[in-house]
């Protein structure tokens, strides 16, 4: 039988994502409501190792639900990858009596949580906080919706300039080795083509399509490229197109970290709040070492080791729809 959890820690790890603060707020207030002591851990696993841990109350999370970033800061910890680093982290938790953890982050954060839990028998719950949406077991990740909306807003503005000058714009969006931001933003902005890591990029097909549209005097074109595309992202694709299509006015725009920032969307605030609440409920009910996700608008729980081994499913329908609607 699982031991009763009385004191929990919450941390954010890896890349920041809009909505992390909403998740922190939900964890803290749900924990306090259920009679738990809640501790904030600064800068992810680094804070556990360096004992940068503080007690949190309801006021600690006042007026943060609308803020981007994370009040707990975030980092990637090389020291936590070593056994000595994890031992330091455990000692700092033990002296405070912290017997449960909520880890808000991506696959790397979950790998660390899984290993830590196995070594020291501290139950961990993962919340998928990543703009990349590259974690299996959930339809949504905290931050994805905001990042896509940011990308769409930027691409819409780029389209205005493309239209004014009859230009082809190659726009690179974030997503690491996943193409979901590119897929969603490309479809939403009427892109001619979307290049993603999940499929092989056929440069000849891309050039053929753009050439055909040029003959039809369709002079406003957008190509959205995921940063992890096999051809090397927007810069490399842009160079290839400039070389092969010298008569076209081609420009390259890399959106970059603007996609990480800003106030979280309504959807991100809601899913973060729901996930944070259910993270604490999971610890209280003895459901440990799982990631809390949402599938078909219902809470879904998947073992942490499964969440990091599998990737979010991808269907080819997306690219077919984009091709047809851009014709």
Known catalytic residues are 132
Neighbouring-strand partners of residue 251: 169
Dist. CA 9–CA 12, nearest whole Å: 11
Beta strands 53-56; 168-173: pairing state:
unpaired
Dist. CA 124–CA 307, nearest whole Å: 13
The reply, when asked if residue 257 is annotated as ligand binding, is: yes
How many Cβ atoms from other residues are within 10 Å of residue 214's Cβ?
Answer: 15
Residue from 319, 296, 306, 266 nearest 139 by CA: 296
The reply, when asked if residue 275 is annotated as ligand binding, is: no
The reply, when asked if residue 186 is annotated as ligand binding, is: no
The reply, when asked if residue 269 is annotated as ligand binding, is: no
The reply, when asked if residue 155 is annotated as ligand binding, is: no
The reply, when asked if residue 12 is annotated as ligand binding, is: no
The reply, when asked if residue 109 is annotated as ligand binding, is: yes
The reply, when asked if residue 28 is annotated as ligand binding, is: yes
Residue from 21, 296, 16 nearest 132 by CA: 16
Sheet holding 221-226, edge to edge: 193-195, 221-226, 168-173, 250-254
Q: List the alpha helices (DSSP H) in 129-233.
A: 144-165, 180-188, 203-215
The reply, when asked if residue 212 is annotated as ligand binding, is: no
The reply, when asked if residue 251 is annotated as ligand binding, is: yes
The reply, when asked if residue 67 is annotated as ligand binding, is: no
The reply, when asked if residue 135 is annotated as ligand binding, is: no
The reply, when asked if residue 111 is annotated as ligand binding, is: no
Dist. CA 186–CA 158, nearest whole Å: 13
Dist. CA 211–CA 251, nearest whole Å: 16
Q: Which helix (H) or strand (E) holds 280?
A: helix 266-285
Binding positions for ADP are: 25-29, 159, 190-192, 216, 218-220
Binding positions for substrate are: 130-132, 167, 174-176, 227, 251, 257-260
Binding positions are: 15, 25-29, 76-77, 106-109, 130-132, 159, 167, 174-176, 190-192, 216, 218-220, 227, 251, 257-260
Binding positions for ATP are: 15, 76-77, 106-109
């Amino acid at each position: 039988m699982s031991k009763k959890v009385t004191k929990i820690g919450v941390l954010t790890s890896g890349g920041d994502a809009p909505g992390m603060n909403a998740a922190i707020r939900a964890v803290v207030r749900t924990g306090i409501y259920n009679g738990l002591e809640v501790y904030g851990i600064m800068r992810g696993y680094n804070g556990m190792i360096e004992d940068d841990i503080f007690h949190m109350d309801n006021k600690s999370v006042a007026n943060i639900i609308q803020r981007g970033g994370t009040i707990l800061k975030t980092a990637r910890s090389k020291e936590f990858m070593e056994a000595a680093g994890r031992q330091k982290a455990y000692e700092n938790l033990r002296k405070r009596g912290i017997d449960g953890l909520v880890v808000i982050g991506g696959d790397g954060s979950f790998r660390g949580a899984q290993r830590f839990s196995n070594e020291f028998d501290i139950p961990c719950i993962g919340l998928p906080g990543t703009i990349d949406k590259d974690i299996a077991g959930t339809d949504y990740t905290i931050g994805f919706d905001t990042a896509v909306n940011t990308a769409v807003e930027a691409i819409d503005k780029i389209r205005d300039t493309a239209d004014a000058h009859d230009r082809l714009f190659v726009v690179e969006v974030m997503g690491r080795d996943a193409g979901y931001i590119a897929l969603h933003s490309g479809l939403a902005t009427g892109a001619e083509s979307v290049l993603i890591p999940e499929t092989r990029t056929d440069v000849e097909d891309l050039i053929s399509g753009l050439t055909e549209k040029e003959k039809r005097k369709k002079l406003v074109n957008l190509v959205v490229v995921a940063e992890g595309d096999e051809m090397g992202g927007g810069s490399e694709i842009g160079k290839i197109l400039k070389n092969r299509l010298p008569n076209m006015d081609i420009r390259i725009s890399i959106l970059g970290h603007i996609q990480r920032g800003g106030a979280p969307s309504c959807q991100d605030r809601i899913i973060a709040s729901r996930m944070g609440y259910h993270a604490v409920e999971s610890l209280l009910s003895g459901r440990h070492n799982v990631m809390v996700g949402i599938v078909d608008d219902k809470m879904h729980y998947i073992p942490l080791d499964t969440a990091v081994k599998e990737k979010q499913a991808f269907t080819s329908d997306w690219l077919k729809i984009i091709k047809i609607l851009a014709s």
